[in-house]
Structure 1
Amino acid sequence: MSVLQAVIQLSFWGPIILFTIGVPSVILNVIIFIGVKTFRQSPSSYYIVTQSLFDFGSLLLVFLQIFPSTSINRSSISCKLIIFFSRIVAPCALSFLGLAAFDRWACTSRSARIRKLSSIRIAHCIVSITVIFWSLVSILYLIFYDLIPPTYTCGLTNDLFQKITNFFLAPILGAIFPLIILIVFGILTYRNLHLMTTINGQQQSVPTRLSIWERQITRMMIIQTLLNVSCTLPQCIFLIYTIATVQQRAMKSLNQIYIEYLLAQLCGYIVSLDFASSFYIYFLSSSRFRQTTKMYLKRLLHLGNDQVTPFNISASTLPVTATKTHYRQN
């Protein structure tokens, strides 16, 4: 198989595979983190739900590119709109993952002042500000992206904005900076969690049920951060390579251009794995999350016998109630 054939096959099957495994992940994330009361009380759950919605938007935009009628090169309007929305949903999804990492750091901090930053009200404000920020940045793409003759492929029409995109927006703001944020807050959260475990062990205290759930979510977010770093790192390396060889573009052969395009596709799909796999990571990394998911889905789908537990609880309390009544009568 030639490099060009590999590019064509990857362009067709890559979006289908990502969309197939990503949609169930998004749906289950929304159902579990909204439906389960314990998760719903955590600000990180709000970030996870909003991230899942924008993950679905990213996967949908990638999936639509396999259809000629919705291709990015179909018309000037489709070129502008697809680029515009892709520059909103993908950065927002990555930003919400970073905000969830920040929330885990604030939640596990020993400082009461920092712990106040972990709240639903603050999460609502930050999510709105993040969406507005990336929407304003994406307006520039809406203006400067269009079909470029003679090939009429979708691309930037402004040289200055193209340099800003190549040297700042794509590598720094879109890849390296979020990666640094995730690494820093992931390390700080792990440190806070380790200190919390050490202090509880020395004091021989029993953590509350809510704190146990908070620790589970924190571990899940740390593992999700490690996955995101692993998925984003190849793209960062490829962007650095692209910037370093931008002056040699005219000297590259056609086969070399195809190879670089294939590598760009692979890096893009590896990053998209993070959009499609969050629920699976949570499910595999936490036994408590697995149990909660199974119990909630059984109750939601009316599977199993839900009346066993209430009946046993009532039966077990009958002797106690009778004893108390007899005692009051005496």
Structure 2
Amino acid sequence: MSLAFLTQQFYIYIGCFLIVTGVFGSLFNITVFLSLKTFRQSTSVFYLTIMSFVNIGQLLFGLFSRIMISGFAIDWSATFIVFCKLRLTLLSLCSLVSYTCLCLAIFDQYLATSTRLRWQQWSSLKTAYRLTLLFTFIWILHLVPYPIFLQHVTSRATGQTVCSITNDAVSMYRNYYVTLVLVGYLPDIITVVFGILAYNNIRQIAYRTLPLVRRELDKQLTVMVFAQVIVNLMTNIPFVTMVAITYAMGTIQDSSVSEIIQFVSNTTSIIFYSYFSSSFYIYMCVSERFRRQFIYVVSQMHPYRWQQQIKPNNQIVPT
């Protein structure tokens, strides 16, 4: 059994599993977060809600197209110029916004659990709206060169048409700065540092005079986000490190070594995408309160609302 065949099977079966579980998990997150007033008033949950939306986009534009390419040898980006320009642009935007929201969520929990009242005041929905719009605007401007320089190019080695960035400077910028820094080690460092600080604040929260509901919510959200930070480290570092090694090695002449490197690279890529599909299941595992809230929303709140909407339609109007 060749490594190329294993890679194909990984993308078909594991990739499809991650898409299905990830899309449904993100939709469950959005449903719970938007249904409960406690969550709607939380700044950190606002970031997690936006992150759930863009994670769906990352799975559809990134992983799904990768499954079609590596699993079924169907490359829409090499066939349609519009898809060529949009795919990399949109998946890059989704990944940047997702990691930005994770950084902002854990930083917000650090502020919200701080003993300094002035820092707590920075944790507000008004600030969250502005920061989200600001960073999204920055990332959109930052990605403007992508659709400009993404073009169909005929490969000299294979003679096949591929979708590639035609500007060397933009290509180097994406490969080294965007991949290794902006969606690589930088968010890892930020989330770990403020995750540890927020977790330390939570350990001292029992000694502070806070309303019980606020205290329990802060503990719940800090544990949820910090657990996601840990998972992010486990999924992101192998992928980014493998990308750095691949760039450092350059072109490999030995075909067997090249096949091994490609297999490891594809494996870490699958692991990388698992981050975008795992948030709901992380929350369910680490937070008993979130499990109760999810069960309440899907088994009581929304079924009751649907019954109330259907009931008037079933009433017999007297003649």
TM-score (norm 1): 0.84
**Counterpart of 2:232?**
228
Give the AA of the match of 1:43: T
**Counterpart of 1:160?**
169
Q: Does 1:105 align with 2:105?
A: no
Structure 1 residues 102 and 295, CA gap change in structure 2 (3 angstroms):
same
Equivalences for residues 198-277 of structure 1 within 5 A: 199-200=207-208, 207-246=211-250, 249=251, 251-277=252-278
Query: Does the CA-based 8 Å contact 1:47-1:123 persist in structure 2?
Result: yes
Give the AA of the match of 1:74: T
Larger gyration radius, structure 1 or structure 2? 1
C-alpha displacement at 1:207, in angstroms?
Answer: 4.6
Query: Does the CA-based 8 Å contact 2:106-2:195 persist in structure 1?
Result: yes
Query: Does the CA-based 8 Å contact 1:7-1:258 persist in structure 2?
Result: no
- Gaps spanning 5+ residues in structure 1: where? 307-330
| d(CA) in 2 for partners of 1:154, 1:11 | 20
Greater Cα offset, 137-146 or 176-185 = 137-146
**Counterpart of 2:140?**
135
C-alpha displacement at 1:276, in angstroms?
Answer: 0.6
Query: Does the CA-based 8 Å contact 1:18-1:273 persist in structure 2?
Result: yes
Deviations 1:206-261 (A, max 9, x none): 75222211211111111111111111110122123123213xx1x43233333222
| d(CA) in 2 for partners of 1:260, 1:296 | 46
Sequence identity of aligned pairs in percent?
27
Aligned length: 296
- Secondary structure in structure 2 of the residue aligned to 1:302: helix
- Gaps spanning 5+ residues in structure 2: where? 308-319
Structure 1 residues 5 and 226, CA gap change in structure 2 (3 angstroms):
same
Equivalences for residues 70-149 of structure 1 within 5 A: 71-149=76-154
Deviations 1:78-121 (A, max 9, x none): 21111111111111111111111111111011111111111111
Query: Does the CA-based 8 Å contact 1:65-1:71 persist in structure 2?
Result: no
Query: Does the CA-based 8 Å contact 2:4-2:259 persist in structure 1?
Result: yes
Query: Does the CA-based 8 Å contact 2:105-2:225 persist in structure 1?
Result: yes
Structure 1 residues 70 and 127, CA gap change in structure 2 (3 angstroms):
farther
| d(CA) in 1 for partners of 2:237, 2:109 | 22
Greater Cα offset, 126-135 or 151-160 = 151-160
TM-score (norm 2): 0.87
| d(CA) in 1 for partners of 2:7, 2:294 | 39
Q: CA RMSD in A?
A: 2.0
C-alpha displacement at 1:70, in angstroms?
Answer: 6.5
| d(CA) in 2 for partners of 1:25, 1:256 | 38
